Structure 1
Amino acid sequence: MAPNYSLVLLLLQILYNGVFVFSIQEFGSNSVEPLAVLESTPNLSETLNAIADILNDSLPEFNYNKVIMKAEEFYATLPKSILNEATMLVPELVRTHGYPCETHKMKTSDGYILTMHRIPHGQDESKGTKDRPVVYLQHGLLSSSADWLIPGPEKGIGYILADAGYDVWLPNARGNTYSRNHVSLDPDGDEFWNFSWHEIALNDVTVMIDYALSKTKQENLYYIGHSQGTTVFYVLCSEKPEYNEKIRVHISLAPIAYMSHMTSPLLQIVATGGRGLQLLADVSGVGEFMPNTGFLGKVGNVLCSEDSVTQVLCTNAMFAVCGFNQKQMNATLLPIIMGHSPAGSSIMQVMHYVQEIKSGKFRQYDYGLIGNNRHYDNTSPPRYLLHKVTAPVYLFYSRNDWVSAESDVLRLYRELGNVQERILIEDGKFNHVDYLYAIDARELVYDKVITRLKAH
């Protein structure tokens, strides 16, 4: 029987959002080994069936269908204090904490309409403050401008930088919650999603950097990227070297270029079944991957709230992607995280990373033999020349990051044109999302980041 592709997308979102058990011993079941089951089923349909089997066998007493079907009902009964920040858009979220927030719109050369949020100053500073250095914070895959703000004042780096005297700009790449528009293309159609992080780098990041510099009348800015936010920086400055002059300094948090040593179990499964993702796009006619529908955020408020017995599911799923670090996981943030994430991306972005994992190379999108000849006049996609990235770069990395592996970061370090320093996070358990949400992120990362910014 052919799979129901609406159900496929829903299951993938549920998988991402944490209703998937990797550590099931707390629930008394020892009959299932999820990773072994999934790794033995590369076929998309079989994999989805395996997911369902794992869910049913791991927690037979927990009715997943009831949770999903009754999410709206559960949502209506939850205290407002739990839901507020999970359901706010970024401007409201920022203003709730006493900070100013502006919304800016711009159009790319290929017609995408993007949104940037701006925190021009801190809580107690005059609007008349001039010549504040511009900091540009580029989010990662499936993320948005909200990621830099979720921990709140004194914890989220967006607020910390505003209070430290910086003019903070929070871009949103095409296809996410805040940049899901185009002058002519319909986001419900396949053509809208015909892009990878290559196009984000050369079309989105360029226009957003230029806009922020023009608006503030400054010549250069500080660029901080996390995960895919670092990838697009390397692509931009290697393909358009003139942008090196516009970058005062670049901070790479969890750098992603090479990925051949990535150890994330979930990403390994995605890489194994990558053709299934492309099949999903081809058959369903939609190239969107994990949009923020709001619906699963409501489920997240039930499953991930601090007093919920199922909160362990959310933390386990996050750890299965990024690495285990229970000590740094602020579980009270989980409903807020799920309210804002996933924020959407294209399947093509994910497929581009799958290609990186499989090839061990940092290069443009591989369209196959015929497609490559059409796009590049060559049978293989061209590599990105990292020595052309001459802006000053600081690489922050950690040994327990299952996505940005230390050996891949060291290879990147050797090839970039102007690395000032590589900084190993002192916490040996620090993982891929700890850069955003860790309890001690300020002491372990952000204070060190600001020290490096001030040196330039």
Structure 2
Amino acid sequence: MMAGGALPQALVLLLVVIGATTAAPAAGVPLAHNEDEDLDTAQLLRKYGYPVEEHFVTTADGYILRMFRVPSSPKASGGSGFPILVMHGLLASSADWVIMGPGKGFAYVLADAGFDVWMGNSRGNVYSRNHTTINPDDDSFWQFSWHEMGDYDLPAMIDYVLAETGQSDIFYAGHSQGTTSFYVMASLHPEYNDKIRVMFSLAPVAYMNHMTSPLLQFISLFVDQLEFLAGLIGMNEFLPNSELMQLVGDIMCQDGAFTQDICSNVIFLLGGYNEAELNTTMLPVIMAHTPAGSSSKQLIHYGQEIRSGHFRQYDHGMIGNTLEYGSISPPDYDLSKVTAKVVLHYSNNDWCAGVKDVDRLYEELPNCIGRFLVAEDSFSHLDFMWAIHAKELVYDKVVALMNQYL
């Protein structure tokens, strides 16, 4: 798609060309390949000795969402067994909480601390590309943004976890889009605030006035044209996960490939550069699982937020807004209705969640009980998932706070 996809897809093609001509191994030398590239979330957990369950949740509008549960951990000593729902960010999936392995991935850290870990997958990613009546290859399947994730997906998953566990509330942790959709849900369905014991926002994204990501800046500059072109040519699915990305990872990103730095820079294009916290050996595994797919409208909606300076619903244009909302502009999400306890975890080098935007969010949330700046100045947006020291810098703090609220 030209919408939002032109820049990253051009970079991917560049990687393939360079990899084929300069970084490929000599004839007869096999590509280095980590078997974790081929394993999904459940298979990764089983490989490393963790029990896992797969669950399917159907939303009120018919989307079928796949969830993974780690009900206990072989390393857990005691622990409450209290449930937590963990939601990924844009173009990501549940795999991002486990691909770094035991002792590193957030899901493992939570399970080892004795919590009942539920990992959600939002509509349209590789695990939730399903619907009760609509073929995911049809354009009609992709007519959603992160608004619908907050309006439909999160309520369905939260209610499912509560029903399965018999609890009256749960912990919630979201990264990036996983925070955005939470604020949407809690403002549109304020009754769900009582179902959340504490919400942990990792790299919180609501306001985006000070966002500096080159990819999202590009989208915001041409958001109207991109939306029109996406609709015109019917390219409503953005960067679906594919064997191409795995091939690029194997050729370009493995240790010893001189193009490994290019691989790193493509990943940093979205969320900020932090070479010190990136385990480059894991780049092929990361690229085999991410991007995990999304709708074009998810990125376009973020582009609209950047341009407008508002945290508000999808902008359908003057006529569309009048028909949809009864006003020429989309309504803002009312953050005063987000009464759940919220803890913000943010960093100085985050190109998507700027410090000033997080400060503004903090001022508008009525029950923000904590605001924690990551101690490492270079910590970036994607480091909340993949950083070498994410456990020490972020996850241990989250676990300690969870234990205080049991």
Classify the TM-score, shorter chain. Answer: over 0.9
Q: How does 1:363-382 map to 2 (within 5 A)?
A: 363-382=312-331
User: Structure 2: any 5+ residue segments left out of the alignment?
Assistant: none
User: Structure 1: any 5+ residue segments left out of the alignment?
Assistant: 21-61
Matched with 1:387 is: 336
In the alignment, is residue 109 of structure 1 matched against residue 105 of structure 2?
no
Matched with 2:281 is: 332
Matched with 2:305 is: 356
Q: Secondary structure at the match of 1:77?
A: coil
The structure-2 alpha-carbon separation of the partners of 1:165 and 1:189, relative to structure 1 and needing over 3 Å to count, comes to same
Q: CA RMSD in A?
A: 2.5
The structure-2 alpha-carbon separation of the partners of 1:19 and 1:412, relative to structure 1 and needing over 3 Å to count, comes to farther
Deviation at 1:307, TM superposition (A): 1.6
Deviation at 1:359, TM superposition (A): 0.3
Matched with 1:257 is: 206
Matched with 1:448 is: 397
In the alignment, is residue 286 of structure 1 matched against residue 231 of structure 2?
no
Kindly indicate whether the alpha-carbon contact (under 8 Å) linking 1:137 and 1:168 is maintained by their aligned counterparts in 2.
yes
Kindly indicate whether the alpha-carbon contact (under 8 Å) linking 2:79 and 2:114 is maintained by their aligned counterparts in 1.
no
Letter aligned with residue 344 of structure 1? G
Matched with 1:132 is: 81
Q: Secondary structure at the match of 1:390?
A: coil
What CA distance in whole angstroms lies between the structure 2 residues aligned with 1:437 and 1:327?
A: 12
Q: How does 1:169-318 map to 2 (within 5 A)?
A: 169-318=118-267
What is the TM-score normalised by the length of structure 1?
0.84
Identity of aligned residues (%): 48
Residue-pair matches, total:
404
After superposition, give the CA deviation of every residue in 1:67-121 in whole Å (9 maximum; x if it has no partner).
69x99x9999324xx3310111111111000001111012111111110011111
What CA distance in whole angstroms lies between the structure 2 residues aligned with 1:437 and 1:188?
A: 31
Letter aligned with residue 66 of structure 2? T
Letter aligned with residue 89 of structure 1? D
In the alignment, is residue 417 of structure 1 matched against residue 366 of structure 2?
yes
Matched with 2:72 is: 121
Letter aligned with residue 92 of structure 1? Q
The structure-2 alpha-carbon separation of the partners of 1:273 and 1:65, relative to structure 1 and needing over 3 Å to count, comes to farther
Kindly indicate whether the alpha-carbon contact (under 8 Å) linking 2:80 and 2:115 is maintained by their aligned counterparts in 1.
no
Letter aligned with residue 208 of structure 1? M
In the alignment, is residue 12 of structure 1 matched against residue 8 of structure 2?
yes
Letter aligned with residue 419 of structure 1? C
Kindly indicate whether the alpha-carbon contact (under 8 Å) linking 1:19 and 1:313 is maintained by their aligned counterparts in 2.
no
After superposition, give the CA deviation of every residue in 1:197-241 in whole Å (9 maximum; x if it has no partner).
110111111101110110111111110000000001111111100
Matched with 2:30 is: 77
Q: Secondary structure at the match of 1:195?
A: coil
Q: Secondary structure at the match of 2:34?
A: helix
What CA distance in whole angstroms lies between the structure 2 residues aligned with 1:368 and 1:106?
A: 33
Q: Over alpha carbons, which structure has the higher Rg?
A: 1
What CA distance in whole angstroms lies between the structure 1 residues aligned with 2:380 and 2:13?
A: 17
In the alignment, is residue 87 of structure 1 matched against residue 83 of structure 2?
no
What CA distance in whole angstroms lies between the structure 2 residues aligned with 1:149 and 1:63?
A: 31
After superposition, give the CA deviation of every residue in 1:39-89 in whole Å (9 maximum; x if it has no partner).
xxxxxxxxxxxxxxxxxxxxxxx9448469x99x9999324xx33101111
What CA distance in whole angstroms lies between the structure 2 residues aligned with 1:286 and 1:324?
A: 30
What CA distance in whole angstroms lies between the structure 2 residues aligned with 1:87 and 1:229?
A: 25
Moved over 4 A (4+): 5-11, 17-20, 73-76
The structure-2 alpha-carbon separation of the partners of 1:218 and 1:75, relative to structure 1 and needing over 3 Å to count, comes to farther
Letter aligned with residue 428 of structure 1? D
Deviation at 1:123, TM superposition (A): 2.3
Deviation at 1:11, TM superposition (A): 6.7
The structure-2 alpha-carbon separation of the partners of 1:125 and 1:328, relative to structure 1 and needing over 3 Å to count, comes to closer
What is the TM-score normalised by the length of structure 2?
0.94
The structure-2 alpha-carbon separation of the partners of 1:99 and 1:259, relative to structure 1 and needing over 3 Å to count, comes to same
Deviation at 1:18, TM superposition (A): 9.3
After superposition, give the CA deviation of every residue in 1:385-429 in whole Å (9 maximum; x if it has no partner).
101111111101111101100000000000011000110111011
